[in-house]
């Protein structure tokens, strides 16, 4: 069986949904973070799949951009999470609500 | 040289400027200046004005022109409308500025002593100077709008000064009453001015006069009557005529010198001044002249009846003022402009003297105004008593020694000439108003023959004349009642007051004496025609001749001309009737209050109903209260409720309530939980996708 664009897209959609549901339902900051990475990478997969399908390199460029931004985001995000942990002794996002009115 | 000078006569600007400067200096710095400096600034400003008034009038006499003008400022120049702050000095405004600044100065002098104890003296003098400024603007104005500015200005100053002791609610309310009642008249006045403007295209007195006496008269004729009537309504407000006179008796709440200056000598006569200024226009509209004469006669009569029983020394004088103003309007209405203006002048002298005399009495009595508690004051206040007596003689119209005799006679004679005119030539074209009444004013009533018409006009003329005569009698009676009760007989004041009785200080006495002398000789400028021999006519009729340039274009302004050669008999008749009324009025007062003191009580008991009606001033205030004041309060309450329940309740608070409740309902969506927001977003996207796909 040949692996077509359709298969790539279904896989990407599936991982995206896993990541999205994770973001919506989990409370652990690290988990949330990994779920966001999952969503970003499913998008990357979509880009690459389309790039292969259309036989040009635009998708690759986008994927690299997304990876660069994700890396930067990971650095900042992890620093924030560490800070939150130091403050609350926990990484549960429900507790980080001091700015709420 | 002469010509240039007459069109650019700077003195007029100076006359107006000094009181304004005085008002500004005292108004801004007065509270920090010593009282003596305040006195000097205020009185000095008016004295300077008086000095320049005399200079100006002197130049006017020598000048070949009958009008001197000065344009101070070009106010509005647009399209067809050009409007200046411009002044004009003619015989009429010359007399007015001499009265305003001359009597005004005396009253300032008097006030320096009368108001000596008042802590807000600077404010008082600032208002008083401002009043003089506004009044000068009113009389010197070259066009109707400058006059209107002065007209409103004197109204405002009148309000400020009536309510000068504003901590007393009653006095503050009197000020408001004066202001509100005047506004009713002023509204009609401005409408009248604009109506006139719409037809003539100018506000300028000289141009208006040229138009109404020239070929343009026919075009203006249709609006003459409504315009004059509207302006006259304005005059009924300012000059306290029926039905708008009610504010004047209440205006006595102000300091007494204010009553003398504003509510006797100057402001209240501005209606007479204005109608005389517009004499050409007024005499075009004979319907309006009838109305003016009838209103004047009614006012003169009813105000005199109210003065008969009043027990407040200033109240009697207030009703007397209303009544005398009614006289002046009779003069205007019957076409005797000179009579009206003459009475204006003599009235300014004797009424100012009477008011200042009453102020002197009130001061000595420690604020007491009830004449039942006075009596015998001549023992303590000889100078006040003498000046008061001279002024009483003047207003009562005792021949020769009373200035009021000459002016009142001129008016009554004018009223009598109406009767004569109605008798001889009811329908023919002539120029006396009777014919016009027949042809225009009363066509519906007088649809009958010429005879019926003549009878109608004759009856009205007789009524006007007889009301004037009866009023002359009552005037003499109530003035001497006032005099006898105040100065003669036994003193009815309590011991303590008696101990304090004293003659007033010199500043007050000087003002009184000067005014008394003027009341004595002021009438000698205008003797009856029959008394003036051929050679001396120029001097003995000086007053009438002085006004030739102002009134000569008005038809038949000189009453004697109306009768032709036969005037002497009519004038003698008028003089004899008038003098009889004056003497019998004084005699009756003497009988009632000196000879037979029990008589007034007996009479008032016999005529109890009339007496009660008079004491209650015919219940006019109560009727107005019921008809207008109560309704206005009701309307106010209704709009208050509308505002409270509909505007505030339903619209303002309703809108607020809806927004607040919506906010309360929606706030639950805003949990602050980012994940919940993300869920909403995802759900929304899913729903949108489902809808689209």
> Across the interface, which of A24, A99, A100 has its CB nearest the CB of B675?
A24
Residue range B430-484, pLDDT digits in tens: 334 444 444 444 444 444 445 555 666 778 888 888 899 999 999 999 999 899 8
**Same structural domain, B324 and B466:** yes
**Same structural domain, B626 and B482:** no
Note whether B675 contacts A93, CB cutoff 8 Å: yes
**Same structural domain, B597 and B634:** no
pLDDT of the residue at B671: 75
Q: Please say whether the beta carbons of B399 and B579 come within 8 A.
A: yes
CB proximity B693 to A under 8 Å: no
Note whether B678 contacts A97, CB cutoff 8 Å: no
- Closest approach of A3 to chain B, Cα-based (Å): 26
**B22 within some domain:** no
Q: Please say whether the beta carbons of B384 and B361 come within 8 A.
A: yes
Which of B608, B642, B672 finishes a domain?
B608
Residue of B nearest to A95 (CA): B673
pLDDT of the residue at B282: 84
Residue range B566-609, pLDDT digits in tens: 677 778 888 888 888 889 998 888 888 887 777 777 777 777 77
Q: How confident is the model at residue B5 (pLDDT cuts 50, 70, 90)?
A: low
Phi, psi of B72 (to 5 degrees): -85, -35
pLDDT of the residue at B3: 44
Residue range B620-656, pLDDT digits in tens: 878 888 888 888 889 999 999 988 888 888 888 889 9
**Same structural domain, B593 and B626:** no
At B81, which helix (H) or strand (E)? strand B81-89
Rounded CA separation B341/A58 (Å): 106
pLDDT of the residue at B7: 66
Rounded CA separation A27/B673 (Å): 11
**Same structural domain, B647 and B498:** no
User: In 3-state terms, what secondary structure has residue A93?
Assistant: helix
- Closest approach of B679 to chain A, Cα-based (Å): 6
CB proximity B667 to A under 8 Å: no
**B312 within some domain:** yes
Rounded CA separation B38/B41 (Å): 5
CB proximity A20 to B under 8 Å: yes
What mean pLDDT comes out for the span B479-492? 86
Q: Which residues of chain A have pLDDT under 70?
A: 100-101
Higher pLDDT: B49 or B367? It is B49
What mean pLDDT comes out for the span B156-164? 90
Question: Measured between beta carbons, which residues in chain A are less than 8 angstroms from residue B678?
Answer: 23-24
CB proximity B58 to A under 8 Å: no
Q: Tell me the CA distances in angstroms from B443 to B23, B230, B428, B435, B439, one per residue in order.
A: 53, 22, 16, 11, 6
Q: What is the mean pLDDT of chain B?
A: 83
Q: DSSP characters for A25-76?
A: H--BHHHHHHHHHHHHHHHHHHHHHHHHHHTSSHHHHHHHHHHHHHHHHHHH
Structural domain boundaries enclosing B656: 622-692
- Rounded to the nearest 10 degrees, the angle between the axes of helix B286-309 and helix B217-238 is 10
Higher pLDDT: B616 or B509? It is B509
- Closest approach of A92 to chain B, Cα-based (Å): 12
Higher pLDDT: B588 or B376? It is B588
Note whether A24 contacts B682, CB cutoff 8 Å: yes
In which residue are the tokens 């006075």 written?
Answer: B374
pLDDT of the residue at B133: 93
pLDDT of the residue at B445: 45
**B72 within some domain:** no
Lowest mean pLDDT among A6-20, B115-129, B397-411, B489-503: B489-503
CB proximity A70 to B under 8 Å: no
- Closest approach of B686 to chain A, Cα-based (Å): 12
Rounded CA separation B219/B259 (Å): 43
Contacts of B555 (CB under 8 A, 6+ apart): B283, B335, B431
**Same structural domain, B321 and B459:** yes
CB proximity B674 to A under 8 Å: yes
- Closest approach of B656 to chain A, Cα-based (Å): 23
Which of B582, B608, B634 finishes a domain?
B608
- Closest approach of B680 to chain A, Cα-based (Å): 10
Note whether A97 contacts B672, CB cutoff 8 Å: yes
Percent of chain B with pLDDT over 90: 22
What mean pLDDT comes out for the span B389-393? 91
**Same structural domain, B221 and B328:** yes
User: In 3-state terms, what secondary structure has residue A92?
Assistant: strand
Lowest mean pLDDT among A56-60, B51-55, B135-139, B524-528: B524-528
Q: Please say whether the beta carbons of B489 and B593 come within 8 A.
A: yes
- Closest approach of A100 to chain B, Cα-based (Å): 6
Mutation target among A17, A18, A22, A24 for the B interface, most CBs of B within 10 A: A24
- Residue B566: count of CB within 10 angstroms of its CB: 10
pLDDT of the residue at B549: 79
Note whether B679 contacts A24, CB cutoff 8 Å: yes
Residue range B255-307, pLDDT digits in tens: 888 888 888 888 889 999 999 888 888 887 777 888 888 899 999 998 998 88
- Closest approach of B654 to chain A, Cα-based (Å): 27
**Same structural domain, B638 and B594:** no
Residue of B nearest to A94 (CA): B673
Residue of B nearest to A101 (CA): B672
Note whether A100 contacts B672, CB cutoff 8 Å: yes
Which of B608, B634, B662 finishes a domain?
B608
**B288 within some domain:** yes
Rounded CA separation B24/B127 (Å): 9
**B59 within some domain:** no
What mean pLDDT comes out for the span B158-167? 88
Question: Measured between beta carbons, which residues in chain B are less than 8 angstroms from residue A93?
Answer: 674-675
Rounded CA separation B175/B248 (Å): 10
pLDDT of the residue at B299: 92
* Dihedral of alpha carbons B555, B559, B561, B563, sign: positive
Residue of B nearest to A99 (CA): B672
**Same structural domain, B511 and B652:** no
Question: Measured between beta carbons, which residues in chain B are less than 8 angstroms from residue A24?
Answer: 675, 678-679, 682
Q: Tell me the CA distances in angstroms from A6 to A3, A10, B229, B347, B489, one per residue in order.
A: 8, 6, 99, 115, 130
Residue of B nearest to A32 (CA): B675
- Rounded to the nearest 10 degrees, the angle between the axes of helix B270-277 and helix B313-333 is 10
Residue range B333-362, pLDDT digits in tens: 888 888 899 999 999 999 999 999 998 888
* Dihedral of alpha carbons B657, B660, B663, B668, sign: negative
Chain A, 25 to 54: residues with Cβ < 8 Å from chain B are: 25, 27
Residue range B50-74, pLDDT digits in tens: 999 999 888 888 887 788 888 888 8
| Nearest alpha carbon to residue B395 among B312, B287, B283, B474 | B474
pLDDT of the residue at B218: 76
pLDDT of the residue at A34: 92
The number of C-beta contacts closer than 8 angstroms across A and B is: 17
Note whether A23 contacts B674, CB cutoff 8 Å: no
CB proximity B663 to A under 8 Å: no
pLDDT of the residue at B153: 92
Note whether A97 contacts B675, CB cutoff 8 Å: no
pLDDT of the residue at B427: 38
**B295 within some domain:** yes
Domain count, chain B: 2
> Across the interface, which of B673, B674, B682 has its CB nearest the CB of A20?
B682
**Same structural domain, B571 and B655:** no
**B242 within some domain:** yes
Question: Measured between beta carbons, which residues in chain B are less than 8 angstroms from residue A101?
Answer: 672
pLDDT of the residue at B430: 34
**Same structural domain, B583 and B686:** no
Does residue B685 surpass a pLDDT of 70?
yes
pLDDT of the residue at B486: 87
pLDDT of the residue at B556: 55
Question: Measured between beta carbons, which residues in chain A are less than 8 angstroms from residue B682?
Answer: 20, 24
CB proximity A93 to B under 8 Å: yes
pLDDT of the residue at A31: 92
Kindly tell me the burial class for residue B693, based on how many C-beta atoms sit within 10 Å of its own C-beta (0-12, 13-18, 19 or more): exposed
**B90 within some domain:** no
- Residue B658: count of CB within 10 angstroms of its CB: 10
**Same structural domain, B276 and B376:** yes
CB proximity A98 to B under 8 Å: no
Q: DSSP characters for B326-347?
A: HHHHHHHHTT-HHHHHHHHHHH
- Report chain A's terminal Cα–Cα distance, integer Å: 57
pLDDT of the residue at B46: 92
């Amino acid at each position: 069986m040949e692996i077509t664009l359709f298969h790539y897209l279904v896989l990407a959609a599936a991982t995206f949904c896993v990541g999205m549901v994770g973001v919506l339902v989990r409370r652990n900051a690290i988990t949330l973070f990994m779920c966001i990475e999952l969503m970003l990478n499913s998008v990357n997969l979509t880009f690459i799949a389309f790039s292969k399908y259309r036989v040009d390199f635009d998708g690759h460029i986008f994927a690299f951009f997304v990876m660069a931004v994700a890396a930067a985001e990971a650095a900042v995000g992890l620093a924030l999470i560490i800070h939150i942990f130091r403050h609350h002794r926990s990484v549960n996002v429900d507790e980080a609500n001091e700015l709420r009115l | 040289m002469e010509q240039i000078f007459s069109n650019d006569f700077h003195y007029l600007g100076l006359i107006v400027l000094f009181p304004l400067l005085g008002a500004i200096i005292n108004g801004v710095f007065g509270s920090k200046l010593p009282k003596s400096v305040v006195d000097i600034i205020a009185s000095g400003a008016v004295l300077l004005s008086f000095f320049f008034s005399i200079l100006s009038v002197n130049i006017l006499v020598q000048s070949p022109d009958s009008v001197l003008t000065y344009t101070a400022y070009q106010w509005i120049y647009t399209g067809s409308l050009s409007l200046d702050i411009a002044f004009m000095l003619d015989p009429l405004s010359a007399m007015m500025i001499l009265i305003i600044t001359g009597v005004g100065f005396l009253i300032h002098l008097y006030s320096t002593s009368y108001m000596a104890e008042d802590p807000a003296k600077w404010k008082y003098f600032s208002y008083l100077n401002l009043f003089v400024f506004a009044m000068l603007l009113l009389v010197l104005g070259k066009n109707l709008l400058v006059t209107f500015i002065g007209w409103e200005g004197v109204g405002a100053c009148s309000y400020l000064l009536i309510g000068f002791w504003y901590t007393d609610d009653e006095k503050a309310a009197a000020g408001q009453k004066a202001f509100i009642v005047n506004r009713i008249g002023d509204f009609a006045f401005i409408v009248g001015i604009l109506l006139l403007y719409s037809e003539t295209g100018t506000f300028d007195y000289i141009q208006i006069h040229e138009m109404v006496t020239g070929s343009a008269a026919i075009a203006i004729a249709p609006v003459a009557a409504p315009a004059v009537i509207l302006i006259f309504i304005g005059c009924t407000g300012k000059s306290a005529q029926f039905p708008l006179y009610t504010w004047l008796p209440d205006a006595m709440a102000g300091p007494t010198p204010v009553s003398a200056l504003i509510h006797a000598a100057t402001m209240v006569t501005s209606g007479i001044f204005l109608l005389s200024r517009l004499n050409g226009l007024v005499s075009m509209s004979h319907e309006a002249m009838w109305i003016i004469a009838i209103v004047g006669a009614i006012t003169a009569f009813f105000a005199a009846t109210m003065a008969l029983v009043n027990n407040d020394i200033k109240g009697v004088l207030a009703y007397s003022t209303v009544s005398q103003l009614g006289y002046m309007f009779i003069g205007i209405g019957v076409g005797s402009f000179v009579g009206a203006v003459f009475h204006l002048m003599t009235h300014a002298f004797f009424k100012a003297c009477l008011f200042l005399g009453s102020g002197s009495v009130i001061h000595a009595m420690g604020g007491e105004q009830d004449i039942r508690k006075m009596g015998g004051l001549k023992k303590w206040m000889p100078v006040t008593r003498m000046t008061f007596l001279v002024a009483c003689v003047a207003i009562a119209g005792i021949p020769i020694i009373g200035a009021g005799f000459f002016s009142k006679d001129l008016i009554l004679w004018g009223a009598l000439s109406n009767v004569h005119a109605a008798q001889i030539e009811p329908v023919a074209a002539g120029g006396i108003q009777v014919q016009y009444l027949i042809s225009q004013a009363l066509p519906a009533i007088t649809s009958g023959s010429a005879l019926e018409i003549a009878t109608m006009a004759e009856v009205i003329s007789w009524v006007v004349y007889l009301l004037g005569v009866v009023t002359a009698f009552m005037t003499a009676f109530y003035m001497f009642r006032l005099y006898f009760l105040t100065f003669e007989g036994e003193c009815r004041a309590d011991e303590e007051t008696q101990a304090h009785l004293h003659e007033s200080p010199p500043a007050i006495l000087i003002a009184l004496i000067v005014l008394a002398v003027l009341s004595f000789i002021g009438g000698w400028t205008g003797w009856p025609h029959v008394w003036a021999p051929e050679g001396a006519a120029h001097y003995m009729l000086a007053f009438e001749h002085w006004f030739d340039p102002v009134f000569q274009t008005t038809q038949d302004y000189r009453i004697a001309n109306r009768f032709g050669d036969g005037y002497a008999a009519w004038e003698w008749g008028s003089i004899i009737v008038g003098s009889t009324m004056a003497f019998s009025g004084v005699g009756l007062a003497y009988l009632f209050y000196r000879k037979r003191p029990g008589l007034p009580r007996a009479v008032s008991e016999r005529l109890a109903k009339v007496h009660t009606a008079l004491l209650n001033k015919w219940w006019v205030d109560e009727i107005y209260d019921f008809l207008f004041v109560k309704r206005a309060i009701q309307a106010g309450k209704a709009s208050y409720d509308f505002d409270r329940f509909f505007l505030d309740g339903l619209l303002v608070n309703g809108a607020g309530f809806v927004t607040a409740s919506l906010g309360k309902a929606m706030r639950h969506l805003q949990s602050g939980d980012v994940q919940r927001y993300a869920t909403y977003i995802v759900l929304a996207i899913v729903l949108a996708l489902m809808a689209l796909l």
